[in-house]
A and B are shown apart, each in its own frame.
Chain A
Amino acid sequence: MQLRDPQDGLASFNRRIAIAGAFVLICFALLLGRFVWLQVIQHDYYETRAEDNRIALAPIAPNRGLILDRNGVVLARNDSAYTLEITPAQVEDLDATIDGLAELITIEGRDRRRFNKLMEEGKRFESLPIRARLTDAEVARFVAQRYRFPGVEIRARLFRQYPHGAFAAHALGYIGRITDGDLRRIEAWGEEANYRGADHFGKAGLERHYERELHGISGHEKVEVTAGGRVVRSLARVAPVPGNTLTLTLDAKLQEVAERAFGDRRGALVAIEPATGGVLALVSMPNYDPNLFVDGIGAADWEALNNSPDKPMVNRALNGTYPPGSTFKPFMALAALALGKRTPEQEIADPGYFSFGGRLFMDNKKGGHGMVNLHKSMVHSCNTYYYMLADDMGIENIAGFMDQFGFGRRTGIDIEGEAAGVLPSPAWKKKRFRTPEQQKWYAGETISVGIGQGYNAYTPIQLAQATAILANDGVIFRPHLVRYVTDARTGRRRLIEPEPLARLSLRQEHIDAVKKSMVGAVHEGTGARVFKDAGYVAAGKTGTAQVFSLRGAQYRKERIRQDLRDHSLFIAFAPADAPQIALAVLVENGGFGARAAAPIARQVLDYYLLGKLPEGAAPADEGAVESDLEEAP
């Protein structure tokens, strides 16, 4: 056992205390070194980091460009209004918050449903509108109680507004909230930065096709923010540049006349200015109110639009494909002349039928038309003439010639989602069908194609375009709805499609012969009653497209279900010697072409050429369209 000397222990202890003290100083020196490293040597780096933290760029969405008709009538504009918005991620009890808000502000079931739909799209961290277009009284009530609702804000927003409602809806289209699909498109353009802060994107029609023109350039505000993202103050601001203005080739008043002429019938009308390819009217009936989509469409409205048997959301002018019926005949006649298969004077004998391969193809007149030349074939729409012609030409020649007029090909109009249609040919059949049996082209099928039936299926815009090419003596323009784009910054105008795409090599005398026969069809033949006392000379052709194969039975309108009745068609251009307008009209299940489609064309031509309005409408000089149409400044 060894006892320790207390003095020894004390010295040892004091030595250890001294060592501890030294250790403390070393450690503090280490800390000081660290501080020097951070605050002196690395200071610039950390200062930048702190600035990055503190300063945020708040994007300012630009005003969307306006859409005007060719005369300056405003078709789409922006409207400033207050919205009530909730950021779900910042709200603890969403239902209770909405219930609380509903005590101050009218919030209907559809508002909630629309909000829930936006939530389901996974946008919990964004500010989502629950009510749009608040009244001043509602704004005041909310502001007074704002402290009760963290995560809820009132914002002034610009809304797209289509002042004429459903008018020209299929041409204008509409905008809606940006979806994932839209985002991918924005990324593909490399425009992510320009869409920061934007909520809306063109969804259909011109709004979609010209999205990049209309959107503008977003501005931004340099703001100081807290870690929670709350803005403390503004440091600098770069103003946004509004979107460019679209001035259309569309004539709003003409469009209105055309839409009214349809009444409650389904169908489409496309009118083109032959000398430019500008679309004067683009009608698809029934239409819909694009305003419904701007704030996100309610479920009930969407169901109603989507489930309607009349399919108002389908743009029939671009997406509906129909057999052209007899409106195909002028192009067949021109093909016959161009390919040297017929001369205008050459006559054929029509016994009332055409026999081919042991099968009878019936004429449209019992007992036939007797001796028929080109002119007469057109005036009376003689089927037999075209059966024979088709047989003489053969399917390859027909398909080759019609292709030049754009049949079975997208026209490339400035609206997306156009259908291609079908220009029948052996090659097409081979692609379309699977088994060799189905793929085989039968000569009998050529006969039906000759009168615009069979596999023929074209969109109304293709028919209108072909008519315009014919009216323009073979000079082809791409049809377009926008005449020029006005740059928002410079005010400079940029013309759309001002140059012809191509010129068909056709002989003028052939074109003139066909045009002359089309004048006959309108003024002497099938269209004579409809165009009685017209103050101008029009060239055109009626058509009736079979929806339902009658197999030799008598066509009795009353016996057939309405939706299986024939489609009524009409193509025309006028004045015949110097065409200002070419159009194609289709009335679904309208029966004979002269009955339904031709009168619509007459009203449109009367208005466009003479300024004459259909009976019962207001006089032209007081505004053919609804009185709320206004001129752009």
Chain B
Amino acid sequence: MIRTLWRKLIDPLDGPLMALIGLLLAVGLIAMASAAPARLATVLTHIGIALVVMRVVAQIPPQRLMQLALPLYLLGVVLLVAVALFGDIAKGAQRWLDLGFIRGQPSELMKIALPLMLAWYFQKHEALLRWREYAAAALILLVPVVLILRQPDLGTAILIFAAGFFVILLAGLPWKIIGGLAAAAATAAPFAWHLLHDYQRQRILMLLDPERDPLGKGFHIIQSTIAIGSGGILGKGWNQGTQAQLNFLPERHTDFIFAVFSEEFGLLGNFVLLVLYALLIGRGLRIAAQAATLFGRLLAGALALILFTYVFVNLGMVSGILPVVGVPLPLISFGGTAMVTLFLGFGILMSINRNRMLVQK
């Protein structure tokens, strides 16, 4: 009886994906126990909620998800407009929307809704993809990105742009256009510099030379690279990282938690972590390759690449090769909303995986 219930419960879940998620969550809990032990209970609650969400979504067939694409996207856009008009201002940027019962960042919703929408759009026009369809896709992509840019939240805007762009890319955007866009971006970079907010420019400058303001804006990067570098090959040992334990690392349970992990577990720990992430992303890409429909392929591929983007941007930022943009490390950083969004993505991956092509070539 219990066995059948359990079987029913885990039936829609993907074994390899679950194993990798479990391992990464374990790494995250170990790092969290060192960085902020008082928050462990909260993290476990977040994981619990996120697992329920994932299980529910995994049960939903991709066809139903497709039906949700347009409404979710439109809801997301409406909420972003609402934020622009009535949102709370926190830390100088309008990102939060208080709806009384729920308080959250609509941009978080968009991280799933945008790729969903684009995957649905390309599925609809699967038979006939011309420049007009790509232009429409670009419009679908740019509306939320511009709204988020205005908040201003460059980091999230870039991530959401990436999420949508992955779909368009996988949908078969001709390489010529990709090359042209890359060239255009390179040319536009100096002009974009002038459009950046002052604090955004500071972050980029800090990356180039963090020592120019060691106690101010460069502090985060300096302290996190010191933490990583002083960790050495084997690390200082769990709970033994002086940078972390003596409070030199800022944001050490959120965006900079990797520095805590890296200081205490060293290059070896980093390598294990990278392998786990690579396997997780690889599993996502494999699910994409095996998906039955274009919608499933595009969505799964985009989700896997979004996961990669988060990991790469966060690790790059904490180790000082990318500017500080405020991206959490998936499965490890503290943060309820981000965790739920992430598991929503895993749920979709599993849903797509259940409907994979039965005929293999």
- Bound CA–CA A13/B319 (angstroms): 33
User: Cβ of B231: which chain A residues have Cβ within 8 Å of it?
Assistant: 39
User: Cβ of B230: which chain A residues have Cβ within 8 Å of it?
Assistant: 43, 46-47, 49-50
Pick from B4-12, B55-63, B220-228, B341-349 the stretch touching chain A. Answer: B220-228
- A45 contacts B246, CB within 8 Å? no
> Which residue of the partner chain, among B247, B266, B277, contacts A226 with CB atoms under 8 Å?
B247
- A31 contacts B315, CB within 8 Å? yes
Asked if A370 is at the interface (CB within 8 A of a chain B CB), the reply is no
Asked if A94 is at the interface (CB within 8 A of a chain B CB), the reply is no
> Which residue of the partner chain, among B246, B312, B321, contacts A54 with CB atoms under 8 Å?
B246
A225 to chain B, nearest CB (A): 7
Asked if B354 is at the interface (CB within 8 A of a chain A CB), the reply is no
- Bound CA–CA A312/B89 (angstroms): 62
Closest to A7 in B: B361
Asked if A560 is at the interface (CB within 8 A of a chain B CB), the reply is no
Pick from A22-30, A377-385, A418-426, A569-577 the stretch touching chain B. Answer: A22-30
- B305 contacts A20, CB within 8 Å? yes
A10 to chain B, nearest CB (A): 8
- B278 contacts A43, CB within 8 Å? no
User: Cβ of A6: which chain B residues have Cβ within 8 Å of it?
Assistant: 126
- A227 contacts B248, CB within 8 Å? yes
User: Cβ of A25: which chain B residues have Cβ within 8 Å of it?
Assistant: 278
When each residue 190-229 of chain B gets 1 if its CB lies under 8 Å from chain A and 0 otherwise, what string results? 0000000000000000000000000000000001011111
- A28 contacts B172, CB within 8 Å? no
Asked if A494 is at the interface (CB within 8 A of a chain B CB), the reply is no
> Which residue of the partner chain, among A31, A34, A53, A225, contacts B226 with CB atoms under 8 Å?
A53
- A3 contacts B308, CB within 8 Å? no
Asked if B351 is at the interface (CB within 8 A of a chain A CB), the reply is no
- A39 contacts B233, CB within 8 Å? yes
When each residue 273-307 of chain A gets 1 if its CB lies under 8 Å from chain B and 0 otherwise, what string results? 00000000000000000000000000000000000
- A42 contacts B229, CB within 8 Å? yes
- Bound CA–CA A35/B321 (angstroms): 11
User: Cβ of B297: which chain A residues have Cβ within 8 Å of it?
Assistant: 13
Closest to B241 in A: A50
- B225 contacts A46, CB within 8 Å? yes
> Which residue of the partner chain, among B127, B223, B226, B285, contacts A20 with CB atoms under 8 Å?
B285
Closest to B305 in A: A20
> Which residue of the partner chain, among A9, A42, A226, contacts B294 with CB atoms under 8 Å?
A9
Count residues of chain A with CB under 8 A from any CB of chain B.
42
A429 to chain B, nearest CB (A): 61
Asked if A137 is at the interface (CB within 8 A of a chain B CB), the reply is no
Asked if A550 is at the interface (CB within 8 A of a chain B CB), the reply is no
- Residue pairs across A and B with CB atoms within 8 Å: the count is 135
- Bound CA–CA A34/B224 (angstroms): 13
Given A17-B289, A35-B319, A43-B230, are A12 and B305 also a contact pair (CB < 8 Å)?
Answer: no
Asked if B316 is at the interface (CB within 8 A of a chain A CB), the reply is yes
Q: Which of A63-119 contact B (CB under 8 A)?
A: none
Interface SS, B side: helix
A396 to chain B, nearest CB (A): 67
Q: Which of B226, B289, B319 has the most CB of A within 10 A?
A: B226
Asked if B76 is at the interface (CB within 8 A of a chain A CB), the reply is no
Given A24-B278, A34-B321, A46-B230, are A14 and B289 also a contact pair (CB < 8 Å)?
Answer: yes
User: Cβ of B289: which chain A residues have Cβ within 8 Å of it?
Assistant: 13-14, 17
When each residue 212-244 of chain A gets 1 if its CB lies under 8 Å from chain B and 0 otherwise, what string results? 000000000000111110001000000000000
User: Cβ of B282: which chain A residues have Cβ within 8 Å of it?
Assistant: 21, 24
B115 to chain A, nearest CB (A): 14
Asked if B189 is at the interface (CB within 8 A of a chain A CB), the reply is no
Q: Which of B264-289 contact A (CB under 8 A)?
A: 266-267, 270-271, 274, 277-278, 281-282, 285, 288-289
B337 to chain A, nearest CB (A): 25
B131 to chain A, nearest CB (A): 13
Q: Which of A2, A12, A21 has the most CB of B within 10 A?
A: A21
User: Cβ of B246: which chain A residues have Cβ within 8 Å of it?
Assistant: 53-54, 224-227, 232
- A16 contacts B229, CB within 8 Å? no
- B242 contacts A38, CB within 8 Å? no
User: Cβ of A30: which chain B residues have Cβ within 8 Å of it?
Assistant: 321
- A40 contacts B308, CB within 8 Å? no
Q: Which of B117-144 contact A (CB under 8 A)?
A: 126-129
> Which residue of the partner chain, among B126, B172, B285, B316, contacts A31 with CB atoms under 8 Å?
B316
Asked if B78 is at the interface (CB within 8 A of a chain A CB), the reply is no
- A31 contacts B229, CB within 8 Å? no
- Bound CA–CA A339/B243 (angstroms): 83
- A13 contacts B170, CB within 8 Å? yes
Closest to B170 in A: A16
- A3 contacts B128, CB within 8 Å? yes
- A28 contacts B274, CB within 8 Å? yes
- A43 contacts B232, CB within 8 Å? yes
- B288 contacts A40, CB within 8 Å? no
User: Cβ of A40: which chain B residues have Cβ within 8 Å of it?
Assistant: 232-233, 267
Asked if A610 is at the interface (CB within 8 A of a chain B CB), the reply is no
A166 to chain B, nearest CB (A): 48
> Which residue of the partner chain, among B128, B170, B229, B316, contacts A17 with CB atoms under 8 Å?
B170
> Which residue of the partner chain, among B127, B271, B305, contacts A32 with CB atoms under 8 Å?
B271
Closest to A228 in B: B247
A616 to chain B, nearest CB (A): 68
- B228 contacts A46, CB within 8 Å? yes
Q: Which of B232-274 contact A (CB under 8 A)?
A: 232-233, 242-243, 246-248, 262, 266-267, 270-271, 274
Extra A-B contacts (12), CB below 8 Å, given A12-B172, A42-B229: A4-B128, A13-B294, A13-B301, A21-B282, A24-B278, A30-B321, A39-B270, A47-B230, A49-B229, A50-B243, A51-B242, A227-B247
- 23 A–B contacts from the bound complex (CB under 8 Å): A1-B128, A3-B128, A4-B128, A12-B172, A13-B170, A16-B169, A16-B301, A17-B285, A17-B289, A20-B301, A27-B308, A28-B277, A30-B321, A31-B312, A34-B319, A35-B271, A39-B233, A39-B270, A46-B225, A49-B226, A53-B223, A53-B226, A54-B243
Q: Which 8 A-B pairs have the closest CB atoms?
A: A46-B229, A50-B230, A227-B247, A38-B229, A39-B267, A226-B246, A46-B230, A54-B242
